[in-house]
Structure 1
């Protein structure tokens, strides 16, 4: 057994089923070892960046870690963006990178890169193998840190060591995985109880740290008559149908979610490092609970910080606090949330037959038709707006994306990882045309693997979210820079061996989505949508109005000067707003 085979044996022992990557020189011994067994499949992708996104999806969705691999310097650099996404989402991923032979390190050898320095910020630990004797110990350490700290770890395997005879085989054992929970001290808990009992109105801002504590948080909210505002990552924990939920806050939030956070006497921040300080209160008392002590007080000063898992904290707190009797704050916000939801559903009605089409119609129809355990990969951009506003991620549905890293092009590769991990579940992708163009080379990978992923490409021939950002900054959008020149996505899909359909009429949306739902091969929906759809923040402040007004004045001036693209942009926004 050589070192490559030993590494593979360790991964096999830990239940790894897939390694995503591109083969090449330093990795060849590992790829060769994979080819001589059947437990772990080598998933060959067209670009290493997509391999990292696929591994992220498996680490995010399952109880195990994802694995991606690349050869020396150039390939290892391609992994970085997807691994940063895994880091920011706290998804356990092991990245295996090759390296030039040890004797050439430090000599500016062909393809040499200082991967330790390059990966220093993205990794929680780097297992740099320099001898067969240390290999199993550092490999095991990397896995142990990745799964217990939910982070990215790298294993560096030099080309010469990869083929050496393995050593210390007796050290290979099952990796320890902690099932312990942090709980608050009684002293801290008493401080929390005192603050809560003295508060009149309480709001809860719940993040992805509540994923294993939904029932406990709901029980606490019920006793406190507290509305629950959730982060984007927690949209599938506290969905639109759940009691006490009043939606999102932040730039893509809704009025009830915003008011629940800003207008309460006391805010409970549970399992979230919500970064948008403009949407956090400045005069409200704050209790923040997180397992990572460094997050407490990271965004806003807190009155009481609690280092604890949310599940035991919420359960212990529910037993101790006095029940609130006045539910007016909750009732008003729930009514406001219902009114907002009704408006969103109207925006998704197929009767809005304007062409180009409203993107909201596609989001609503997919939400209505997808299975109750569907996995949704939401790409960065306006697709995240329509998904979070229109869709319901109830029951066993899951959403994943680049919600903290904000990278485009996570959709397709993450869907590949998700579908391989859960072959019996529907996997849907919502992404813009700009994002799809970044990663479409691996559409053929999905075809080769026979993965029935369903991809909605919102095709408006522009980078719409960037346009929104420019308008909010008071700039006239540079429409030439934002323009996306697309190929025929329907034909592209069919040439690759999948299925595809261009949709230009609202009456055809439901039948095409139904066809995608039942397709046994990748299905690409080329949705021709308006670039005029806009999303307003939950609270229009002076600087929002000022900047947006300045942007419109500049756009109008350019249009009057003969800029036809600016005229078309203004026209589509007016048509979309009033339709």
Structure 2
């Protein structure tokens, strides 16, 4: 090809490379070893033919023959600095060379025009994922997923996907899990083979046990070295077997569009984890397959509760004097129907922690969270109830639903009904349809009083109790109640909270008053420390993808122990301009564990933490950070953080005993 037909790409200036040196440069996407030797310039293919070692990271050394050679830094293969030929090489051997042109001190390398892109296996599969609605991918680009990463890059360039490069793959899985919990649709997480893949497992277990859809995309070593134990070669199919509902390797002979479609359908329909394994060499195989899509493969079929079950439920409610409603996360999208039924029955509504905010605390029928993270108001009505209408709850032992009570349990998943113990009436069906059917009937007992005035009285007692607690001061830090009282007042009515675990979470569940249409994301059944901030990243991504979530504020809650798990993800949030306000309760210890040691009559041991200044850390990362030591400054600090257009961290120095 003549020089005039080449694309001339600038790769730097002559001052950048001293005589007798080599360096790696990139012309468009071509990796080149640039050489300045003996007053001349040359450019050759950067990959040593042995194992693709980077010649540009090598050096020019004098051989035993007295001649100077470029020496590959990996295994010592030699090449002529100006011709690219090896010692004793034939005329047709050696490195591919590229013409070099120096123009006013600027170095240009001539390369052939970029050929049209040819569709690969991973192009087909990424296009299929996109057609199924996968919009956000969290992960890390690495040596065993480069072909897949390039297919994702093309989707990003086309505006069909977003990619968020994280600092630890565990955070990618937590972010994808939170995305699934919030939207009911999957995000994807991308890793390399070996340790990158195994780092996903904790976050994927979080998704699995909380029934959140996630797509895991893991690189793998080349097929010809799988099995004997090559570098980063582990049996990913076995490693992921327990945590996935669908897990398949992608082979050259696979039906690639079908594999991607089945992964998406499994994640969405089963609300579970689907996993695809991509051997390195398969990723760039050319393909003439067409991308898959959900058309003709999905149905909308809400299960309407049987009329006989509605009749039974109505009869049981008619016979109850003190019915209550307990709403779980499975009922999170039925807030209007649940509120209407509660108002019809003059019944208090208690929520599980995962469903906190389903009915706002400002609603007359709201009794707050039930259980270990709950309020005495909810406990009171649980104790006094003679009928529990449990909607979309899994009866976690942390929630504390009294098993000895008469229970109507409604869920759209049959396996959840009476899962841990028998109930008086299990009802399989859509929760909204159940509530609508009962709200249309006159099924309130004439002997049942109106519990709402009593509820208002119990809430007032709890308010006075909180005011008493606010006065507590041991001189060791701010009371968590003061923080969450202010936060509840100051955040928008549609805030999405991502909470971690520990004392900070118990205080959040107990003290923060929800309003409007707020949502809470948590690591429910897994209860994993470190969930909070990565979950906030997943929630923020969802607000960019989903029209019904756009503009909603994301607030992360954690203690110093939880944030310390993935602190560098704050730089991820800065990189992508994520508008996340992080409320960090810093007490210098794993406070919940200290409390458990004391209550179990163990000595308190190894729960103290050596921490940096987290507010200063946030500023060093490029975000907003402020440290608060005085309760008088709480409102101002939270307000400023909420107003900051990007990642903001408020570090509250708190008392581990005042929770």
TM range (shorter): 0.7 to 0.9
Structure 1 unmatched runs, 5+: 535-579
Task: Spell out the pairing of 1:118-197 with structure 2 (5 A cutoff).
Answer: 118-169=239-290, 171-172=292-293, 174=295, 176-197=297-318
Q: Deviation per CA, 1:495-515, whole angstroms, max 9, x where unpaired?
A: 111121111111222211121
The answer to whether the aligner puts 1:331 opposite 2:457 as a matched pair is: no
Contact 2:476 2:654 in 1 (8 A): yes
After TM superposition, give the deviation of residue 355 of structure 1 in Å.
Answer: 4.6
Contact kept in structure 1, 2:122 and 2:283, CA below 8 Å: yes
Counterpart of 1:378? Answer: 499
Q: Which of 13, 16, 21 is the matching residue for 2:139?
A: 21
Q: Is structure 2 residue 437 aligned with structure 1 residue 316?
A: yes
TM-superposed CA distance for 1:346, in Å, is 5.9
Q: 2:573 aligns with which of 419, 430, 446?
A: 446
Q: Which has the higher contact order (CA 8 A, sep 6+)?
A: 1
Residue number in structure 2 paired with 1:236: 357
Match of 1:251 in 2: 372
User: After superposition, what is the alpha-carbon deviation per residue over 1:407-450, rounded to whole angstroms, capped at 9, x for unaligned?
Assistant: 11111111122223325332111100001111102111111112
Give 3-state SS (helix, strand or coil) of 2:333's partner. helix
Does 2:405 correspond to 1:284? yes
Matched with 2:644 is: 519
- Give the structure 2 partner of residue 562 of structure 1: none
Distance 1:348 1:177, change over 3 A: farther
Q: Partner of 1:65 in structure 2?
A: 186
Q: Does 1:298 align with 2:419?
A: yes
RMSD of aligned Cα (Å):
2.2
Please state whether the residue corresponding to 1:301 is helix, strand or coil: coil
- Cα deviation per residue 1:223-253 (whole Å; 9 max; x = unaligned)? 3232211101111212211232212221222
Task: Find the counterpart in structure 1 of residue 562 from structure 2.
Answer: 435
Query: Residues of 1 paired with 2:433 and 2:189: CA distance?
Result: 34
1:31 aligned residue:
149
Could you say which residue in structure 2 is the equivalent of 1:470?
597
Size of the aligned set, in residue pairs, is 531
* C-alpha distance in 2 between matches for 1:361 and 1:64: 36
Q: Which runs of 5+ in 2 are unaligned?
A: 1-118, 545-550
CA distance in 2, matches of 1:401, 1:171: 33
Look up the SS of the partner of 2:147 in the other structure.
Answer: helix
Per the alignment, residue 400 of structure 1 pairs with 521
Query: Residues 355-388 of structure 1: CA distance to partner in whole angstroms, max 9, x if unpaired?
Result: 5111221212121111222221111111212212
Give 1:344's match in structure 2, choosing from 448, 466, 472: 466
Question: Match for 1:10 among 123, 128, 133?
Answer: 128
* TM-score (normalised: structure 2): 0.76
Partner residue of 2:38? none
Alignment partner, residue 510 of structure 1: 635
Once residues 353 and 447 of structure 1 are traced to their aligned partners in structure 2, the CA distance between those partners, rounded to angstroms, is: 36
1:79 Cα offset (Å): 0.6
Question: Alpha-carbon deviation of 1:353?
Answer: 9.6
Distance 1:345 1:62 in 2: 37
Deviation at 1:82, TM superposition (A): 1.1
Following superposition, the deviation at residue 177 of structure 1 comes to 4.2
Pairing 1:68-79 to 2, within 5 Å after superposition: 68-79=189-200
Helix, strand or coil at the partner of 1:69: strand
Q: For the Cα contact (< 8 Å) 2:315–2:443, is it kept in 1?
A: no
* 1:347 CA displacement: 4.3
The answer to whether the Cα contact below 8 Å between 1:256 and 1:334 also exists between their aligned partners in 2 is no
Q: CA deviation at 1:321?
A: 4.9
Contact 1:20-1:45 within 8 A present in 2 as well: yes
Tell me, in whole angstroms, the C-alpha distance in 1 between the residues paired with 2:288 and 2:377.
Answer: 61
Q: TM-score, normalised by structure 1?
A: 0.86
Q: Provide the C-alpha distance between the structure 1 equivalents of 2:496 and 2:398, rounded to a whole number of angstroms.
A: 30
Relative to structure 1, the CA distance from residue 328 to residue 471 in structure 2 (aligned partners, 3 Å threshold; closer, same or farther) is farther
In the superposition, relative to structure 1, how do residues 528 and 19 fare at CA in structure 2: closer, same or farther (>3 Å)?
same
Cα–Cα, structure 1 residues 280 and 300, in superposed 2: closer, same or farther, change >3 Å?
A: farther
Alignment partner of 1:81 is 2:199: no
Higher strand share: 2
The verdict on how the C-alpha distance between 1:175 and 1:158 changes in structure 2, with shifts beyond 3 A counting, is: farther
Q: 1: CA distance between counterparts of 2:268 and 2:137? A: 16
Give the conservation status (yes or no) of the 8 Å contact 2:365–2:455.
Answer: no
Name the counterpart of 1:486.
611
Larger Rg: 2
Give me the whole-angstrom Cα distance separating, in 1, the residues matched to 2:596 and 2:473.
26
Q: Is the 8 A contact 2:132 2:261 kept in 1?
A: no
Q: Distance in 2 between matches of 1:133 and 1:189?
A: 48
Aligned residues of 1:147 and 1:177 also touching (Cα < 8 A): no
Cα shift readout 1:322-360 (whole Å, capped 9, x = no counterpart): 2234325453244213321443366458x9795511122
For 2:388 and 2:183, the matched residues in 1 are separated by 31
Please tell me whether residue 496 in structure 1 is matched to residue 621 in structure 2.
yes
- Distance in 1 between residues matched to 2:565 and 2:277, nearest whole Å: 28
Q: Is the partner of 1:380 in helix, strand or coil?
A: coil
Cα distance in 2 between the residues matched to 1:378 and 1:67:
21
Evaluate the alpha carbon distance shift between residue 216 and residue 172 of structure 1 in structure 2; reply closer, same or farther with a 3 A threshold: closer
The CA distance in 1 between the partners of 2:236 and 2:384, in whole Å, is 48
SS at match of 1:36: helix
